[in-house]
Structure 1
Amino acid sequence: MPTIPDLPVLGEHDDPNSMLSKKFGREVANYFSGSPLNRLSFLRGDRDFLRQAFSYPSTAFLLMNNLDPLVRQDDPSHLAFATIADVVPLTGEDPFGKTEEEQIRDFDSADDKHPPVIVFLGVDDKAQLPSSRQVEEFAYKSFRGSPYFAVDVTPRGEGKVAVEARKLVERLKERGLEFHQTAGHRHMGLHAGQAAMYGHARALIDWNARNPFCAQCGQTTLSVHAGTKRACPPTDMAGGTVPHDRKPCATRGTVSNLSFPRTDPTVIMAVVSADGTKVLLGRQRRWPKFWYSTLAGFQEPGESIEEAVRREVWEESGIKVGRVVLHSSQPWPFPASLMIGAVGQALPGAEAETVFLGHDAELEDARWFGFDEVKLALAKGVSNLGESAPEGYVDGGLRLPPQTAIANQLIKAVVEGWWVSPRM
């Protein structure tokens, strides 16, 4: 039976005596949130900081190969971090030696010159992550802690960088490490804090990999700002020593020629019946038998969260929703969604609560489930997609997503009375 991962702890942010907690209940933290790192996002453009942090002996590197994270073969629930000595053959000793302006000026699209994407993740300034490196902690101005970077070591092409990436992957395998394949199950078994780090790294490395070309002119772009921006340079060395002008690009004549990572807002909602005794759940055709979840869908431009909840529920199930309350959110790096969790209540009346699947063909089925049946499923029928049902499950019973999915947290909140009383 698979190990059930823990969920993030809010720590100092979780004050049960605060005015908001007393009125609305304790904050809910979902899987892929709760990073132990201080992102220090304002230092991503500080070359001195990046150079010192990258080369510091205690700095740890999260390596990603085809978006799969490096873990120990005997314990894939924890990330395995590389050292500066591991990554230098691939990244070079001083990948942040140039300013962003100099990087853009000296851009070289030749395969041998194209560096791997390096993402600054943040600094562990509260010593929350275990470390076997007994060295003095990193310090820069008033900031102290252990720096963390992510590096894309995916071998691409046949140039020098790709060759070094393949060598690095082989060396890591010889040390009992592996890149844990995330396709299908999406690596939902990581320790909570490290799952947040993995989600952060995955989202940014995936965005860089998906955007090698400028959306306006189609030319190659360059990763800058510690992996969080991409620029369309005006010139290209193209393997030589003299820069050549590239085709004109409209972005260079505007405020900025930079593109930024995208985040797609997605609403996901537990819908309660008008009398407060049932919850609406649906299923897609590809899911295992008896496996249901909450409804979800992308928020559209010019649409509020509440409007998106009502529209998606009506389009997918025919149910008309009245009041909508926000519950919690979950970063979902597959590839770049922010799951906005809500609880909605159906309008009273048979017409408003009648399921109709004729608007949108996304769902195979949607139905109302009584709270008692849902509580039993939470106790006996929870699993990841692709995993067998847990011990104690009776065939034919309702199956639900695991606690690492915000859908599970929304369902649990509804049947435990989150929506009718303060959650203390």
Structure 2
Amino acid sequence: MSTDPYVNFFSGNPLNRLSWLRTSQPFLNSIIHAPSTRWLVFNDGQPLALTPPDDSSSAVKQSLARLHTHHVRPLLGPEPFFAQGQNEGELAPEDVKSLEAARLRGAPILFLGLHETESSIAAALPSTDFSAHADIKTVIDNIKGDAYFSLDVTDVPKEEVDAVLKAAAVDASDSKLAFVEPRSAMTTLEPFEGAIFAEARCMVDWNARNKFCPSCGSPVHSAWAGWKLTCSTLLPWADNAGKKPCPTATGLNNFSHPRTDAVVIMTVINETGDKVLLGRNKRWPALFYSCMSGFIEPGESFEDAVQRELWEEAGVKVWDVRYHSSQPWPYPSTLMVGFHATASSDEPLRTDLDNELDEARWFTREEVLAVLAHAEGTRLSRADQKELAAAAEKTNPNVNEVPSAYAAAQAPTHPAGPRFKLPPLTAIGGVIIREWAHGCAGRQPAAAGSATVTVTTPNASL
């Protein structure tokens, strides 16, 4: 068996994140102007995408729009872009930690990292050649690759955004630029795009959701190129008269680190290995079922969570819990951790426990293989995606409520359709179900389509 890491869709991020340079305003403010720098643009969580002229079909291939700095420059505001001082146009003092690569005004910007086009020759590490304290010209000269940033235009006036898109569309050839619902678009993204999209959307969402200090309730501002939120009471000019010092004034000055919520998702196999347990959430369309799943709670291991969730949701006792792989899931910021487990298919199933499941049942290998062989067996329409995404918004984000991790066992909508549907390989649920169906322990069989991502150099940007 191969010992290479298992790389699911959204995983295998190809960017060198250059985390040690997130505090360096000379580097950040300089690299923005590099001709090779690329921008991913988001509006209310929706990415800007390139879509072919005829987008009537759900199978139309979309790709992320990777704009140049000259495209988005009207939306960035006045310089400096990072380490902004008290007044517009001022550069913050270098010795104030709360202002390290801070952005106090303008649309939110995030530094994602560097795609090293010549990584075999010069891979950047936190050495003297790439240090935050090195001469900025030395750092820029030694970097070989394309820097990536994200820009959130949610609060930018629509007419300003439209003007930028109209100008950028000149370079888009026959394709059109539009913000798209990410869940429906993700099935057409290339692995490179999926990986950087996952990083960007998680961080854009985190910055958008967290506006106040979790310790004292004061407003926060962006620092470290979008990777840190700092309490406004720590600004040198803050008026703190009559206030107690914020506890974030000591230590890391940051009680709100970028979060990732761990979720276990598991195929439950019976003792003879010929059946798999799936369930359907009450908020889903009638046709769709999923692997069981649930959030990790404080004070429990992944294995503990697998056992607890299955007992709470379906009254199922499991054993032999085995790790498979993990997958970032940016809706909004989850790490799905895949497992296999064993249970008895002779024991009764329950759906009256935590009020989540409408049905739970065992499927045979033959039933699952028949769906995998059907052309529509793992394909979801845009309408399906949107309906399931809307259902997810009504509750806490959960891998059971995202539109790429389910199967179905109801009557087909038309005679030619599959008996039920299974998740695509862009979701780890689809990977672990498919592996079991093909009797492949640890690796996806080639006949079913590989789930392992090979990162390649992306197509040319705008």
Q: Which category describes the TM-score, using the shorter chain as reference length?
A: 0.7 to 0.9
| Aligned counterpart, 1:8 | none
2:26 to 48, 67, 76: 48
Question: 2:449 matched to which residue of 1?
Answer: none
Match of 2:51 among 73, 79, 90: 73
TM-score norm. by structure 1 comes to 0.79
| Cα separation, partners in 2 of 1:357 and 1:101, compared to 1, 3 Å | farther
2:145 aligned with 1:145: yes
What is the CA distance between 1:393 and its match in structure 2?
7.6
Structure 2 contact 48–177 (Cα < 8 Å) conserved: yes
Q: Which moved more, 1:320-329 or 1:115-124?
A: 115-124
Show the counterpart of 1:369: 363
Which residue of 2 is the match for residue 268 of structure 1? 265
1:257 corresponds in structure 2 to 253
Select the residue among 16, 20, 26 that pairs with 1:38. Answer: 16
Structure 2: unaligned runs, 5 residues or longer: 53-59, 84-91, 120-137, 386-407, 447-462
CA distance in 1, matches of 2:311, 2:206: 32
- Is contact 1:63–1:150 with CA below 8 Å preserved after alignment? yes
Alignment of 1:103-252 (within 5 A): 104=98, 114-126=105-117, 140=140, 142-156=142-156, 164-165=160-161, 167-169=163-165, 171-172=167-168, 177-182=176-181, 185=184, 187-234=186-233, 243-245=238-240, 247-252=243-248
Do the aligned partners of 1:279 and 1:371 also contact (CA within 8 Å) in 2?
yes
- Deviation digits for residues 294-315 of structure 1, max 9, x if unmatched? 1111011111111111111111
Per the TM alignment, residue 90 of structure 1 is displaced from its structure 2 partner at its CA by 2.3
Q: Which amino acid aligns with 2:106?
A: P
Preserved CA contact (<8 Å) 2:82 2:101: no
Is residue 325–residue 342 contact of structure 1 (8 Å, CA) maintained in 2? yes
Q: Tell me, what secondary structure is at the counterpart of 2:286?
A: coil
Cα pair 2:278 2:289 within 8 Å, conserved: yes
SS of the residue corresponding to residue 247 of structure 2 reads: helix
**C-alpha offsets along residues 29-65 of structure 1, whole Å, 9 cap, x if unaligned?**
2111122222222221223322222121111111111
TM-score, length-normalised on structure 2? 0.73
The whole-number CA distance in structure 1 between the counterparts of 2:6 and 2:100 is: 47
- Deviation at residue 114 of structure 1 after TM alignment: 1.9
Report matched runs for 1:398-413 at 5 Å.
Answer: 398-413=420-435
Q: Are the counterparts in 2 of residues 266 and 339 from structure 1 also a CA contact under 8 Å? A: yes
Shift of 1:368: 0.5
Alpha-carbon distance, 1:104 to partner: 3.5
Aligned amino acid, residue 36 of structure 1: P
Assess, with a 3 A threshold, how the Cα gap between structure 1 residues 51 and 300 changes in structure 2: closer, same or farther: same
Deviation, structure 1 residue 126: 3.0
Distance in 1 between the 2:228 and 2:199 partners? Answer: 14
Q: In the alignment, what sits opposite 1:320? A: 317
- Percent of pairs with identical residues: 36
CA 1:378–1:139: 2 relative to 1, 3 Å: farther
SS of the residue 2:267 aligns to = strand
Structure 2 CA distance for aligned equivalents of residues 402 and 185 of structure 1: 12
Post-superposition offset of 1:292: 1.7
What SS is found at the alignment partner of 1:209? helix
Query: In terms of mean alpha carbon deviation, does 47-56 or 224-233 score higher?
Result: 47-56
Counterpart Cα distance in 1 of 2:304 and 2:193: 34
Q: Report if the CA contact (8 A) 1:139-1:145 is conserved.
A: no
| 1:288 matches 2:266 | no
Q: How far, CA to CA, are the matches of 1:86 and 1:393 in structure 2?
A: 49
In 1, the alpha carbon distance for the partners of 2:282 and 2:444 equals 37
Question: Is the deviation greater in 215-224 or in 385-394?
Answer: 385-394
C-alpha distance in 2 between matches for 1:187 and 1:326 = 25
Q: Does 1:331 align with 2:328?
A: yes
Distance 1:355 1:198, change over 3 A: same
- Report the equivalent of 1:13: none
Structure 1 portions without partners, runs of 5+: 1-20, 129-137
Where does residue 378 of structure 2 map in the other structure?
A: 382
Of residues 323, 341, 345 in structure 2, which corresponds to 1:344?
341
Q: How much has 1:174 moved relative to structure 2?
A: 6.8
Q: Could you list the per-position Cα deviations for residues 156-215 of structure 1 after superposition, in whole angstroms to 9, with x for gaps in the alignment?
A: 5x7xxx875564345446766433321663633211210111111111011000001112
Question: In structure 2, what is the Cα distance between the partners aligned to 1:325 and 1:70?
Answer: 39
Find out whether 1:89 has 2:74 as its counterpart.
Answer: yes
Q: Over aligned residue pairs, what C-alpha RMSD do you find?
A: 3.4
8 A Cα contact 1:31 1:404, kept in partner: yes
* Higher deviation after alignment, 184-193 or 117-126: 184-193
Does structure 2 retain, via aligned residues, the 8 Å contact 1:236–1:243? yes
- Alignment coverage as a number of residue pairs: 379
